[in-house]
Amino acid sequence: MNRKIRQLAAAFIVLYVVLFAAMNYWQVGRESELNAMSGNTRAIRREFSRPRGEIVSADGVVAARSIPLPDDNEFPYQREYPTGDLFANVTGYYSLALGATQLERTQNSVLTGQTAEQRIGNLEDIVTGGQGTGDVHMTLRSDLQDTAREALAGRRGSVVMLDTRTGAVLAMYSNPTYDPNRIVDPNFDAARDALEELLEAPGNPLLANAYQERYMPGSTFKVLTTGIALDAGVVSLDSQFDRVTEWTPPQTSNPIQNYDGSNCGGDLREVFRRSCNIPFAQTALNVGIPGMISGVQAWGVGENVPIDLPRPAASTFGSTDNLDQQLPLLAMRGFGQQEDQMVPLHMAMVAAAVANNGVMMKPFVVGSTTDSQGRTLTRTQPEEWKRPISPETAATLNSLMQSVATDGTASCCLQLNGGVPVAAKTGTAQLNEAGQPERSNAWIVAFAPANEPRYAVSVVLLDSPEVSAGTGGRLAGPIAQQMLNEALANG
Amino acid sequence: MATASPLARSRRSTELSLVVMAGMITAIAYTFASLGQYTQIPARIIPFLLALLALLLFAHLAVRWFARGADPTLLPLVALLHGVGYVMITRLEPERLAGLQTTWSIIAIVAFVATLAVVQRAADLARFRWTFLFIGVVLLILPLVPGVGSSFGGARIWVSLGPVNFQPGEFAKIAFAIFFASYLADNRQLIAGGTWRVGPLHLPEPRALLPVLAAWSFAVLVMVAERDLGSSLLFFTLFVVMLWVSTERVIYLFLGAAMFFGAAFVSWRLFDHVQLRVDIWLDPWADWQDDGFQLVQALWGMSDGGLMGTGLGRGSPDIVPVAESDFIFTSIGEELGLFGAAAVLMAYLLIVGAGLRVALRTENAFEKLLAVGLTTIMGIQTFIIVAGVIKLVPLTGITLPFVSYGGSSLVSNYILLALLIRLSDSTARRLHEVPDDPTMAERWAARKLRRRARRGRVVAGSPA
């Protein structure tokens, strides 16, 4: 019988080897295919069963946190956004069914404690009973966010404030926006309905318009044009421009006018503070096509804004094909009309670069991350992005922008507490055709203190029902004023 | 324990250290599962560890006392499987089943020790073969008896006596293995001889083969009637293998295979539930939210675990219905990965190897066949359920020995283990590896005999 017993043993070995091969087939061979199948919710469940750290503002206000749910729930935690819509554009939301956005997505591994550093630290948590999660500390200040929200008062538009020296984003608020609590509603149907409603709502409330959208900049673009021309030596403070009401550029018979058809001219300081159009149209032509194109590129136009948040937009100078056949277009772009479009955050960066001696910093919203014990994991180091203009040009622009605030288009509405000197440029981008009801984007970019800059702000109010040289200053100016006053008072 | 034996002592100390290692692995796995699931060290880890070691030590001492020549790997391998299963069950059903499984584990170890104590000579089993056949038949029929039997999950394999539910089929398989080993040991030459000529064919005497065939077809038919496909497949394979090994005639394998495929085809044509099993096996994804749900979720769990597993307590094996019982193997595959699942398979293969080594070493035909039978039960049962849950063959529900949740399964398999250890010890004694001391019962009988001799009632015959 022993021969048969040996054969039986061999048969068992064969059977078990077959089992082992079949296990390999499922666990190794088809692993990724099976894991990717819809209906296989294991990876998502694992993800959502973990505790999650907080997202906190620079002044310690909790913008996102996890609250434990009663035991009979499928998942042990529920995400909550105590500040409602205040930080929605930056924190995003985190939902089982509908995915995650913004910092909730990009900082996921820190929040769940999955970075290599945290995993080592987590061994300690086993003993101390810690959660093993991590916190994200934003550079944004809740007082500035509040100010921006109140100043906008429900009007469509964006407010961005930067630290001029580091690029840290201190405020970034847009209307329309949304309350992320609606999307993390444990009632899935309610959450999905809320998301669908937001997706179809006008003005893209789910987008962070301050950095994911771009708008026609109007006269604020003259900061770029002037900087390019100063650097190229095409203009200087001594340049004189004719006082005219209209001017016809080459290749056309349609004249370009100043706002309201006003008679506008004089030296560079005067045309800059009064925001004449014709001098900047002429300047753009004098700089020439290659000079303007490389100039705006040096300002970062055409590149995605380098912020540490997902899917930033890029500002644009419009199509440059056959521009030599269309010089009037180049002329109009010189003062921020036609196909020019700027991202609100990028405009704040332009102002900050002027303030920062011509050095444009990379904007960032994550100041630092900490583990569950409060130890710092990462701290964002300020990084230079571009040097669009020389320090001399920056100083000249600074002085020109101060004139705008003292006796130019912003003088009505931009006076800081304690007489702190401020530099600014307003803009009114006309959206309507001639003869249509007036519509415009009202802009202002500003920084203060002008002699020792710390804060740069950019404000845009969309679709304002009027167009004049003063529109930008009168509508957007007060918002910039409130923002700068608040920043200086509590900075 | 009268005579000292170096070999016995070394085997037992090997066993002790291996058993302690299995216990440590269990305790570590238990701690990790709690850390993975709740990020905390289990509250009662010290009492758990002490109870676990006490239980393992109890089993080990019983082997040391009653079967000191036995193979030292059997008990540790089983302790490891039992431990892994226990950790998985408490992790899957911490409130509902953890306490019950603890109780059943204690009962199973007691049954193990009791079996070792009661069955001190393997030959005793052979003497009661017709009794075992009778017990096996009764156990098989019990679930069909109205008022006693009950069915859960489509199979009528349960018996309810008051508060206790058990599956008598789990015990019947041992009884039938004993009967077959004993009967075939005595009659195998007769069956193999083929003295009955029908035309050109040499067939076994019908009279000799009749009891085997009767018991075989009875068992398989009853199991089919109870809709317990897994067990009927197990019984069928057990009998075919034992006939083949005992007669050494390969014709029984072919005959068995032919009958199996014939029966499988007929039942596929006749029974809806068999067709459904086959359909799910062919394409579980066709209806993955309903009929195929269990298998599909199990496969997703395995793939999610991948090579290294998600870690104990960190996967989602609880999505799979009855993960703690039939599907516990895929739960292990999910949380311990291919490595962990392969280690479990390896443990079974080592047990099979140890069992067949016993069968090879012994000269006694009954012990040889019983060792083959018990080992085959263990090896085939594992193969049927593992192959079923990884979609290698159609799924037929049956427990994974020592690992699955289930009192009857645990107790019966520990009895099976005790018998294997008994056979292993018996072989060692017969080969003079350890001294063949008389058992307690034999010493008692000898004393009685001597007393009667002193009183002059017995004339001669007692050894000097």
Q: How many independent structural domains does chain B possess?
A: 1
Question: How far is A328 from A256, CA to CA, in rounded Å?
Answer: 9
User: Mean pLDDT across chain B, nearest whole number?
Assistant: 86
**A136-147 burial string, b = 16+ CB within 10 Å, else e?**
bbbbbbbbbbbb
Question: Which stretches of A59-114 are DSSP H helices?
Answer: 88-91, 102-106, 108-111
- Selected for mutation to probe chain B from A12, A13, A77, A127 (highest B CB count within 10 Å) is A12
**Parallel/antiparallel/unpaired status of strands A134-138 and A55-56:** parallel
Q: Is residue A35 in a domain?
A: no
Residue whose C-alpha is closest to residue B82's, from B431, B399, B443, B424: B399
For residue A256, the surrounding DSSP H or E stretch is: strand A256-257
Which positions ≥6 away from A441 have C-beta within 8 Å?
Answer: A215, A216, A217, A218, A427, A428, A429, A431, A460, A461, A462, A463, A464
What is the tens place of the pLDDT at every residue in A348-379? 999 999 999 999 999 999 999 998 888 888 99
Bridge partners, B57 (sequence order): none
For residue B301, the enclosing domain spans 6-433
Query: Taking the CA of residue B204 as centre, how many other CA atoms within 13 Å lie in the half-sphere pointing to its CB?
Result: 20
In a domain, B440, yes or no: no
- Is A403 assigned a catalytic role? no
Q: Is residue A86 within 8 Å of residue A79, measured between CB atoms?
A: no
Chain A partners within 8 Å of B360 (Cβ):
2, 5-6
**C-alpha span between A198 and A182 (Å, rounded):** 10
DSSP helix/strand/coil, A375? coil
Q: For residue A321, what are its two tokens?
A: 């094909």
Say which amino acid occupies B143: P
CA distance A64 to chain B (A): 23
What whole-number distance in Å separates Cα of residue A147 and Cα of residue A161? 11
pLDDT in tens, chain B (464 residues): 445 688 888 899 999 999 999 999 999 999 988 888 877 788 788 888 898 899 999 999 999 989 888 999 999 999 999 999 999 998 888 888 888 888 899 999 999 999 999 988 888 888 888 999 999 988 888 888 777 777 776 677 777 766 667 788 889 999 999 999 999 888 887 777 766 677 776 677 777 777 777 877 777 777 777 777 888 888 889 988 998 998 888 888 888 888 888 888 888 888 888 888 888 898 888 887 788 888 888 998 899 888 888 888 888 888 888 888 889 999 999 999 999 999 999 999 999 999 999 999 988 899 999 999 999 999 999 999 999 999 999 988 888 999 999 888 999 999 999 999 999 999 998 888 888 888 888 888 899 999 988 887 655 554 54
Task: Give A437: exposed, middle or buried? Use CB within 10 Å, 0-12, 13-18, 19+.
Answer: exposed
Answer whether B235's CB lies under 8 Å from B177's CB.
Answer: no
Kindly report the backbone phi and psi dihedral angles of residue A26, in degrees, each rounded to the nearest multiple of 5, phi listed first. Answer: -80, -40
Q: Is A447 helix (H, G, I), strand (E, B) or coil?
A: strand
Q: For B404, which DSSP code? A: S
- B237, B376 in Cβ contact below 8 A? yes
Number of CB atoms found within 10 A of residue B200's CB? 5
Is B316 close to A132, i.e. CB distance below 8 A? no
- The structure tokens listed for A337 are 């009309």
Residue B449 included in any domain: no
Which tokens belong to B324?
Answer: 């703690």
Q: What is the reported pLDDT for B388?
A: 92
- Whether the Cβ atoms of residue A400 and residue A220 lie closer than 8 Å to each other: no
A301, pLDDT greater than 90: yes
Total number of domains constituting chain A: 1
* B322 class by beta-carbon count within 10 Å (0-12 exposed, 13-18 middle, 19+ buried): middle
Encode burial over A333-372: b for 16+ CB neighbours within 10 A, e otherwise: bbbbbbebbbbbbbbbbbbbbbbbbbbbbbbbbbbebbbb
- Helix (H) and strand (E) counts in chain A: 18, 19
Q: Between A30, A39, A125, which is nearest B303 by CB?
A: A30
Give residue A145's pLDDT band: very low, low, confident or very high (50, 70, 90).
very high
**Cα–Cα dist B211/B220, whole Å:** 14
- Residue that wins the pLDDT comparison between A121 and A359: A359
Active-site residue, selected from the candidate residues A57, A174, A219, A403: A219
The kind and range of the H/E element at B64 are: helix B45-66
In a domain, B283, yes or no: yes
Residue of B nearest to A14 (CA): B349
Residue A238: count of CB within 10 angstroms of its CB: 8
Are B304 and A6 within 8 A, CB to CB? no
Q: What is the pLDDT of residues B250-301, one digit of tens each?
A: 888 888 888 888 888 888 888 888 888 888 898 888 887 788 888 888 998 8
Helix axes B45-66, B6-38, angle to 10 degrees: 160
- Domain assignment present for B443: no
Distance from CA of B135 to the nearest CA of A (A): 28
- CATH number of the domain at A408, please: 3.40.710.10
In the numeric block, the tokens 């040009």 are attached to: A393
- Chain A hits for B383, Cβ within 8 Å: 15-16, 19
Q: Considering the domain boundaries, does residue A422 fall inside one?
A: yes
Q: Which residues of A touch B314 (CB under 8 A)?
A: 46
Domain extent at residue A289 = 212-365+381-490
Q: How much is the pTM? A: 0.67
Q: For an interface test with A, which of B242, B245, B303 has the most A Cβ atoms less than 10 Å from its Cβ?
A: B303
- Distance, in Å, from the CA atom of A95 to the CA atom of A89, rounded to the nearest integer, reads 15
Which ipTM did the prediction report? 0.91
Which residues have C-beta within 8 Å of that of residue B127, sequence separation ≥ 6?
none
Chain B residues closer than 8 Å to A21 by CB: none
Q: Which residue of B has its CA nearest to A28?
A: B306
Residue pLDDT, tens place only, A440-451: 899 999 998 999
**Residue A24, H or E segment:** helix A2-24
C-alpha B162: how far from chain center: 26
Q: B86 vs chain A: nearest CA distance in angstroms?
A: 22
